[in-house]
């Protein structure tokens, strides 16, 4: 048998034996990931074509927040994680829970409105996938609006929703609140497409209780999320009404019927040096007269807007990563093909191009450096305050020579 056939056979033998440990959890995690992405995808993102790593702006991670409290509101079924796959042991039928979903939502809306297209769901058809949802179209006389409520139960220690930095989501009014009892409330009055600042509005509340159970409420100023005309200036429920709907005790029995997910063991992780340290290093290297504004960071990445007091603002983002010289040799040689080799053995690639996410007159300058020890520092600079918007000045704030000096500065070596 040729080697390729033997390899294919052994890959089949090996691959076929893998199975996810928690399929339902994985799918739910995907939905949660997707919802977050959808809300935030138009928020400024760095990275892209040239294999530049990272990524989303704004999300401060609070990894252990949800498991610091001993308070547990969920009783009964929560103690039986297996129930995520089966309805058999439930005292209340899935059909009844689905009805309670929609009845609860209806009961919490201001009276006098006209309700159509009301649907309640507890599990997906087939009965295996838990996906509680209530959705309807509500018209208080000023225009029809879609309203949806979903329930989920996160793993303790999950990521909390956080407001994007207003500099990058200028059209949103967003707040997070810590509530008595350890719950977090996230309220965002934004747009279906956040970067537009026009069209369908999507106002949203997320309540995450201390035990990880979560209520998501969305309301639109249209009868459907997308593809339906705007019917009114804003969605029908005010921020206070949204808050009241999400925090209502009426959801309690339904949340209590949600099985808690199985915890997964923590693992050592790290996406790179601490973002705060990257930001401090960046600020320490800015030339005299240049100031940073609206900083944002996450592991391995930091960004901020730069101003020099003369013209408008420009965006700068810096990734710091560590590559393994043997393990990552392939990708490194690909990333640094055609690089200039510096006296200390570092390799550097410089690109000056139109901004990859567009914006009238916007340019993107990149200095990508890898040191002999594998530390990679990539700085990207724009002459616009965010990605994807028009230029705010003729050139980025730092000249290309200043950007090179910043990236090659030995201060970065202290981070890894």
Partner 1 sequence: MKAADESDYLDFATARTGALYRSAALLSSGDPHLAEDLVQETLGRMYVHWRRVSKADNPAAYAHTVLVRVFLSHRRRRSTTEQPTGRLPEGVVPEGDATLRLTLLDALARLGPRDRAVLVLRFWEDRSVEETARVLRSSSGAVRTQTSRALGRIRSILGDSLPDLARS
* 51: contact with partner 1 by CB under 8 A: yes
Residue with tokens 């009805």: 99
Positive/negative CA dihedral, 297, 298, 299, 301: negative
Among 71, 79, 89, 124, binds partner 1 (CB under 8 A): 124
Minimum distance of partner 1 from residue 206's CB (angstroms): 16
19 binds partner 1 (CB under 8 A): yes
Stretch that binds partner 1, among 87-95, 309-317, 320-328, 399-407 (CB under 8 A): 320-328
- Give the CA distances from residue 388 to residues 57, 271, 368, in Å, rounded to whole numbers and listed in that order: 14, 25, 21
Q: Decide: is 127 part of the binding site for partner 1 (CB under 8 A).
A: no
33 interacts with partner 1 by CB under 8 A: yes
Residues 356-385 that bind partner 1 (CB under 8 A): none
- Distances in Å between the Cα of 179 and the Cα atoms of 174, 184, 242, 254, 285 are 16, 6, 15, 20, 40
Is residue 11 near partner 1 by the rule CB under 8 A? yes
DSSP assignments along 131-167, one per residue: EEEEEEEEESSS-EEEEEEEEEEPPTT-PPP-PPPTT
Helix spans in 20-93 (H):
23-40
Applying CB under 8 A, which of residues 61, 290, 322, 390 lies at the interface with partner 1?
322
Phi and psi torsions of 3, nearest 5°: -55, -45
By beta-carbon proximity to partner 1, the closer residue of 13 and 344 is: 13
Q: How far is the CB of 93 from partner 1 (least distance, A)?
A: 19
Cβ distance to partner 1 smaller for residue 307 or 376: 376
Given a contact cutoff of 8 angstroms between Cβ atoms, the answer to whether 155 and 212 are in contact is yes
- Beta carbon nearer to partner 1, 378 or 398: 378
Shortest distance, CB of residue 127 to partner 1, whole angstroms? Answer: 12
268 makes contact with partner 1 (CB under 8 A):
yes
Query: CA-to-CA distance for 341 and 242, rounded, in angstroms?
Result: 57
Do residues 120 and 93 make contact, with C-beta atoms less than 8 angstroms apart?
no
Where would I find the H helices in 143-271? Answer: 239-247, 252-256
Which of 114, 178, 196, 226 binds partner 1 (CB under 8 A)? It is 226
Of the candidates 232, 328, 349, 352, which one interacts with partner 1 according to CB under 8 A? 328
Site size toward partner 1, by CB under 8 A: 69
Q: Rule CB under 8 A: is residue 79 a binding residue for partner 1?
A: no
**Which is nearer to partner 1, 32 or 364 (by Cβ)?**
32
In angstroms, the CA 207 to CA 41 distance is 21
Query: How many H-runs (helices) and E-runs (strands) does the chain carry?
Result: 8, 14
User: In angstroms, what is the minimal distance from the CB of 113 to partner 1?
Assistant: 19
Subset of 193-222 contacting partner 1 (CB under 8 A): none
Considering only the stretches 26-34, 234-242, 286-294, 306-314, report the one whose residues sit in contact with partner 1 under the rule CB under 8 A: 26-34
E strands along 371-409, which residues?
375-382
**Rounded to whole angstroms, how far apart are CA atoms 99 and 110?**
19
Which residues of the chain form contacts with partner 1 (CB under 8 A)? 1, 3-4, 6-21, 23, 26-27, 29-38, 41, 51, 53-55, 119, 121, 124-125, 128-129, 131, 133, 135, 148, 224-226, 264, 267-272, 300, 321-324, 327-331, 334, 416
């Amino acid at each position: 048998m040729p080697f390729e056939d033997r390899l294919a056979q052994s890959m089949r033998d090996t691959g076929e034996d893998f199975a996810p440990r928690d399929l339902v959890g994985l799918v739910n995690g995907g939905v949660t990931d997707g919802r977050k992405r959808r809300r935030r995808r138009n928020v400024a993102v760095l990275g892209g074509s040239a294999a530049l790593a990272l990524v989303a702006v704004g999300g401060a991670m609070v990894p252990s927040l949800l498991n610091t409290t001993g308070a547990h509101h969920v009783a009964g079924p929560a103690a039986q994680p297996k129930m995520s796959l089966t309805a058999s042991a439930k005292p209340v039928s899935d059909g009844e829970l689905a009805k309670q979903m929609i009845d609860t939502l209806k009961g919490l809306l201001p009276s006098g409105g006209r309700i159509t297209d009301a649907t309640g769901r507890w599990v997906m058809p087939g009965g295996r996938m838990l996906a509680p949802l209530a959705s309807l179209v509500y018209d208080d006389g000023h225009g029809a609006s879609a309203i949806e409520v979903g329930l989920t139960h996160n793993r303790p220690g999950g990521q909390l929703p956080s407001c994007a930095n207003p500099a990058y989501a200028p059209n949103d009014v967003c707040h997070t609140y810590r509530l008595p009892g350890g719950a977090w409330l996230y309220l965002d009055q934004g747009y279906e497409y956040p970067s537009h600042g026009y069209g369908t509005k999507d106002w949203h509340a997320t309540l995450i209780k201390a035990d990880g159970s979560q209520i998501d409420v969305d309301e639109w100023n249209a009868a459907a999320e997308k593809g339906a005309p705007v019917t009114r200036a804003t969605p029908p429920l005010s921020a206070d009404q949204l808050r009241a709907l999400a925090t209502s005790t009426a959801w309690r029995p339904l949340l209590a019927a949600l099985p808690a997910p199985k915890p997964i063991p923590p693992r050592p992780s790290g996406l790179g040096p601490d973002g705060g340290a990257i930001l401090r290093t960046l600020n320490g290297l800015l030339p005299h007269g240049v100031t940073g504004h609206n900083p944002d960071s996450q592991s391995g990445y930091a960004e901020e807007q730069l101003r020099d007091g003369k013209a408008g603002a420009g965006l700068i983002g810096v990734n710091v990563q560590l590559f393994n010289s043997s393990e990552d040799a392939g990708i490194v040689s690909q990333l640094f093909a055609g690089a200039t080799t510096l006296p200390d053995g570092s390799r550097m690639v410089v690109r000056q191009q139109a901004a990859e996410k567009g914006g009238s007159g916007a340019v993107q300058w990149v200095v990508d450096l890898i040191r002999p020890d594998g530390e990679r520092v990539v700085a990207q600079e724009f002459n616009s305050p965010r990605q994807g918007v028009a230029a705010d000045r003729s050139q980025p704030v730092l000249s290309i020579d200043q950007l090179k000096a910043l990236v090659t500065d030995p201060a970065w070596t202290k981070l890894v």
